[in-house]
A and B are shown apart, each in its own frame.
Chain A
Amino acid sequence: QQPVQSPQAVILREGEDAVINCSSSKALYSVHWYRQKHGEAPVFLMILLKGGEQKGHEKISASFNEKKQQSSLYLTASQLSYSGTYFCGKANNAGNMLTFGGGTRLMVKP
C-alpha cells in the first residue's frame, strides 16, 4: 500500500520554509525521500532507518516517527533549486522493495 503525502502542492518564495508529510496505514520500516525535477528522473535525497532518526541534506532534513508511522521532510530557507516533486517511499520489511507516495509538488519563486 502506498504511503500518503501532504500537501499535494506548495508554492514558496525564496528563503521560506516548508514541511512535507508522509504517513502510512501500515508499519513503516524505513522511509526514503527522493526529488524529481521536471522532465528528469527521481534522485535520492536520504533514507531514515530508525524511529526518531533525523537526517540532513543541504538545508533539507527529515524526521521519522516509527510509532506514528510518519515522516516529515523539512526544507529550510528554500532556494530556487529546491523546486520539483518530492516523493516519500516506504520499503517492505526486508527493506528491498520500495513503493512511493503520490508526491508533493514544490515551486520556489524568486
Chain B
Amino acid sequence: DAGVIQSPRHEVTEMGQEVTLRCKLISGHNSLFWYRQTMMRGLELLIYFNNNVPIDDSGMPEDRFSAKMPNASFSTLKIQPSEPRDSAVYFCASMTGSVGKLFFGSGTQLSVL
C-alpha cells in the first residue's frame, strides 16, 4: 500500500496568493483529517471528514480556509488569500473504522512570504 500521499511537499508563495494542498487517502479508509503543525500551537486539528462528509470544521481558523473531499480517495485544503501566519506544516491523515489508528501523510511545508 502506498500510504497517504500529500502534494506538494514544499510550497513557497507570496502573501495574497491562493494555495491548494492535496491529499490522497489510503484505499478503503473512510475518515480524513487535516492537521496544521507549528512550534507555537503544536498539532491542531483543522477539519475532519467521514465518508466524504465534513463532520467537524471547528478548527478551521478563518473563512480563508476551505476543504473539500470530492470523492472517497482525495481531498484538498485551500487557503485564499494566504498570509504569512499560515506558514506551517500541513498534514493529512486517514483512518478506517472508528477508534482506529491514524496514518499520516508526509506533510506539506508551507511558507508564505
Contacts and interface: CB of A to CB of B under 8 A. Distances in A.
Interface residues of A, number: 23
Contacts, number: 53
Nearest to A101: B42
A99 B91 CA distance: 13
Given A41-B104, A103-B42, A97 B56 contact: yes
A44 B99 contact: no
Interface in B34-91: 35, 42-43, 45, 48, 50, 55-56, 91
Contacts of A30: 99
B101 A96 contact: no
B96 to A, nearest CB: 11
Contacts of B50: 96
Chain B: number of interface residues, binned into ranges: 20 to 34
Contacts of B35: 100
A87 interface: yes
A23 to B, nearest CB: 15
A43 interface: yes
Chain A interface helix/strand/loop/mixed: loop
A10 to B, nearest CB: 17
Nearest to B50: A96
B102 interface: yes
A95 B45 contact: no
Contacts of B101: 32, 44, 47
Interface string A36-55: 00001111100101000000
Interface of A: 2, 30, 32, 34, 40-44, 47, 49, 87, 91, 94-103
Interface of B: 31, 33, 35, 42-43, 45, 48, 50, 55-56, 91, 95, 98-107
Given A97-B48, A98-B33, A103-B43, 6 more contacts: A32-B102, A42-B102, A44-B103, A49-B99, A97-B55, A101-B42
15 contacts: A32-B101, A41-B104, A41-B105, A42-B43, A44-B102, A44-B103, A47-B99, A95-B98, A96-B31, A96-B55, A97-B33, A98-B45, A99-B45, A100-B35, A103-B43
